[in-house]
Amino acid sequence: MTDVLEVRNLYKRYGGLVATNGVNLSVRPGEMHAIIGPNGAGKTTLISQLQGMVRPDAGEIFIDGVNVTATPAHQRAGLGVARSFQIASLIPDFSVLDHAAFAVQAQLGHSFRFWRRADREEILLAPAREAVEAAGLGARMHSPARDLSHGERRQLELAIALAQRPKILLLDEPMAGMGKQDGQRMTQRLADLKGRYSMLLIEHDMAAVFSLADRLSVLVSGAIIKTGTADEIRNDPQVRAAYLGHG
């Protein structure tokens, strides 16, 4: 079976800084693959290249065996790539449900529908509600994004990604900046989603990552220095030296 996501020899340079340095990576169907790495390692830059917002300088990206390296971001979304933003990227006036419904709408082909009220289309609303519930935000269904707390915004990021019915979820630090309790709840939520989606998860919280991920990759200065199971990573001397030692 082909990998849902495959990355070959990816490079991205910002001036003198090599943000992505020859990355090879794969996510198997149903797998949760985590990426850990210190601040500034190039994790977000990697995700942005996979989603299409940032163009790599060299290398190739495959989704379900299809080369999407030159495919623009919005078409990649159509191919099943969904991404959550590390810094929540929302629309202040849209309610939680509006956000999810917009994501559903985007998956249903073009939006040249001029007449029917979008906020009454059950075909959009039903899957949107489901995604919002799955992200644990059901109680805030009709709140505008501007009224959400930080943690709720992170949940909404997840809800939007889920509403896209993705083949692969790219989650950029879904628990960043959350309190302990919220963080644990989010971990539980991701555990529930595990197996149902193929996921690439970026996360700083070691305990969470080691308990969740099937495989982990360690990214340091733009390069992956090791990929393996939780045990393999924990016991790798190079990883310990480069990262875990002062993580």
Partner 1 sequence: MADGASRPIRAALWPALVLIALLALAPALSIWLDDPFTVKIATRIVIFAIGAVALDLTLGYAGLVSLCQAAFFGVGGYVVGILAWHQANSEAVLAGWMGSSELALTLPLAFLVAGLFAAAVGAVSLRTGGPYFIMITLAFNQMLYYGAVALQKYGGDDGLQIINPLTLFGYDISNRYKFFYLALTMLLATVLLIDRLARSRFGVVLRAAAVNETRAIAVGVAPWPYRLVAFAITGALAGLAGALLAASQQFISPADMAWDRSGDFVVMTALGGVATVWGPIIGAAAFIFTELSLSSYMQHWQLPFGLIILAIVLLLRGGLAQLVDLARGAKKGGEAVHD
244 is a contact residue toward partner 1 (CB under 8 A): no
Question: Is there a contact between 79 and 71 (Cβ–Cβ < 8 Å)?
Answer: yes
Selection from 169, 188, 180, 150 nearest residue 34 by Cα: 169
Q: Compute the least distance from the CB of residue 44 to partner 1, in Å.
A: 13
53 is a contact residue toward partner 1 (CB under 8 A): yes
**Taking contact as CB under 5 A, which single stretch among the options 23-31, 68-76, 78-86, 226-234 is the one that binds Mg ion?**
78-86
Q: How many angstroms separate the CA atoms of 205 and 241, rounded?
A: 18
47 is a contact residue toward partner 1 (CB under 8 A): no
β-strand partners of 169 = 82, 199
Question: Is there a contact between 132 and 159 (Cβ–Cβ < 8 Å)?
Answer: yes
- Both tokens assigned to 82: 């969904």
Q: Binding partner of residue 14 among partner 1, ligand ATP, Mg ion, none, CB under 5 to 8 Å per kind? A: ligand ATP
Q: What is the dihedral of CA 221, 238, 211, 231, to 10 degrees?
A: 150
User: x/- binding map, residues 152-171, to partner 1, per CB under 8 A?
Assistant: -x------x---x-------
Number of residues engaging partner 1 in binding (CB under 8 A): 44
87 is a contact residue toward ligand ATP (CB under 6 A): no
Contacting positions for ligand ATP (CB under 6 A)? 14, 17, 19, 37, 39-45, 86
